[in-house]
Amino acid sequence: EVQLLESGGDLVQAGGSLRLSCAASGFSFSSYAMTWVRQAPGTGLEWVSSISSSGAATFYADSVKGRFTISRDNSKNTLYLQVNSLRAEDTAVYYCAKDRRGNYYTAFDIWGQGTMVTVSP
């Protein structure tokens, strides 16, 4: 079964840091671009960051650029998001998602269950 499982979310103070993880199984992880999408409570979906299949190319939303770092370990089938200098507005459920086509940035056919990051003022 194709599956993504996030972990690492927690309650942290403003200015703090966390590392989110996304463990992949059931597909050839190293062949697919991966993405983080977040959803603040009661709101819609916001693209956060994407990474190419090899990890050589990374992309960030302006709202997180310079504070968040996306990476991956293809030997461990795991995607990461290092989140630093957290702000109250970063409070959200963070989802990892797999691109439908491969090493492209298109639609996301597999999503994890999400991990909650809560930033206290």
Partner 1 sequence: EIVMTQSPATLSVSPGGRASLSCRASQSVSSDLAWYQQKPGQAPRLLIYGASTRATGIPARFSGSGSGTEFTLTISSLQSEDFAVYYCQQYNNWPPLTFGGGTKVEIK
82-95 per-residue burial string, b: 16 or more CB within 10 A, e: under 16: ebeebeeebbbbbb
Among the listed residues 29, 112, 117, 119, the single contact to partner 1 using CB under 8 A: 112
Among the listed residues 12, 23, 59, 84, the single contact to partner 1 using CB under 8 A: 59
Our finding on whether 95 is near partner 1 (CB under 8 A) is yes
Our finding on whether 32 is near partner 1 (CB under 8 A) is no
Nearest approach in angstroms of CB 59 to partner 1 is 5
Our finding on whether 36 is near partner 1 (CB under 8 A) is no
User: Going by C-beta distance under 8 Å and a sequence separation of 6 or more, which residues neighbour residue 75?
Assistant: none
| The one-letter amino acid at 36 | W
- The answer to whether 45 touches 37, Cβ cutoff 8 Å, is yes
Our finding on whether 62 is near partner 1 (CB under 8 A) is yes
Exposure on the CB side of residue 76, measured as CA atoms within 13 A: 9
Q: Which residues bind partner 1 (CB under 8 A)?
A: 35, 37, 44-47, 50, 59-62, 95, 100, 105-109, 111-114
